[in-house]
Amino acid sequence: MIRKFLDQAYLSETEPSRRHFLKTGLSTCTLLALPMAATSVHAAIKKPLEKKLSFLNLHTGERTRTTFWANGRYIPEGMRAINQVLRDHRTGDRYKIDPTLFDFLHLLQHKLRTNQEFHVISAYRSPATNARLAAQSGGVAKNSLHTHGKAIDIRLPGRKLSDLRSAALSLQIGGVGYYPSSNFVHLDTGNYRFWGG
């Protein structure tokens, strides 16, 4: 490629001027530098990347800190460990949590510059549990995203609930519900919207 470029540059003028010679020389240096820059960028992209999350289920006392994504793919073992901790604590039912929710939480963690564990009030809810809760409270949706593994209610120790909410809202992904009287923030992977407080 560089040889072709130089040949074309010299064929375009029978007697290259000093200016043309300098321009050609600078262009050649730029072309030579590009592969090195591309290699450097490529190396940075190829660098193994891991995404980790930590949870404490406040109802069961179970916790996990696991890698859920690495080298461009979700890690089944990590996903299973998280799904176990985020199961319906009332019935023991487990569900495959939407991986997008984990990505949302990881971005939130990055935004807050922390790797502290999320304290979980509620994650997956079986339809039976959700129906019971909806009958007791008008604040529980009948077809809650919790029943589809797409929602979680959390707090973060040492952080103001309002800061957690602000950080989640700034990401502009999914739903963000603010429940200061119950001391949690609801996050889900539905359409971007917010409520409460």
Both 33 and 90 in one domain: the answer is: no
Torsion of CA 93, 150, 64, 103, to 10 degrees: 160
Question: How confident is the model over 169-180, as a mean pLDDT?
Answer: 97
Query: Rounded distance, CA 52 to CA 94, Å?
Result: 21
Please give the residue that has the higher pLDDT: either 33 or 57. Answer: 57
In the chain, which ranges are continuous DSSP H helix? 2-11, 18-46, 76-85, 99-111, 127-136, 161-171
Please give the C-alpha separations between residue 156 and each of 63, 96, 108, 152, in angstroms, as whole numbers.
Answer: 14, 23, 11, 13
Both 61 and 42 in one domain: the answer is: no
Average pLDDT, the chain: 83
Query: Rounded distance, CA 59 to CA 62, Å?
Result: 8
Supply the pLDDT for residue 139. 78
pTM: 0.75
Both 39 and 113 in one domain: the answer is: no
Supply the pLDDT for residue 46. 53
Contact 173, 104 (CB under 8 A): yes
> Three-state SS for 196?
coil
Both 81 and 21 in one domain: the answer is: no
Q: Which residues pair with 73 in a beta bridge?
A: 70
Residue 157 has pLDDT above 80, yes or no: yes
Q: How many domains would you assign to the chain?
A: 2
> What is the share, in percent, of the chain residues with pLDDT greater than 70?
76
Please give the residue that has the higher pLDDT: either 102 or 138. Answer: 102
CATH number at 132 reads: 3.30.1380.10
Please give the C-alpha separations between residue 126 and each of 39, 106, 167, 192, in angstroms, as whole numbers.
Answer: 50, 25, 29, 24
Both 11 and 70 in one domain: the answer is: no
Domain that holds residue 22: 2-46
Question: How confident is the model over 172-195, as a mean pLDDT?
Answer: 97
Question: How confident is the model over 119-125, as a mean pLDDT?
Answer: 98
Please give the residue that has the higher pLDDT: either 49 or 11. Answer: 49
Instruction: Give the strand pairing for 175-179 and 63-70.
Output: unpaired
114-129: burial string, b at 16+ Cβ within 10 Å, e else: beebbbbbbbbbbbeb
Please give the residue that has the higher pLDDT: either 197 or 55. Answer: 55
Both 147 and 131 in one domain: the answer is: yes
Residue 169: name the closest of 140, 141, 195, 139 by CA.
195
Q: What is the pLDDT of residues 36-65, one digit of tens each?
A: 443 443 444 455 589 999 999 999 999 999
Residue 148 has pLDDT above 50, yes or no: yes
Both 15 and 105 in one domain: the answer is: no
Q: Which residues contact 95 (CB under 8 A, 6 or more apart)?
A: 83, 87, 88, 124, 126, 149
Both 118 and 190 in one domain: the answer is: yes
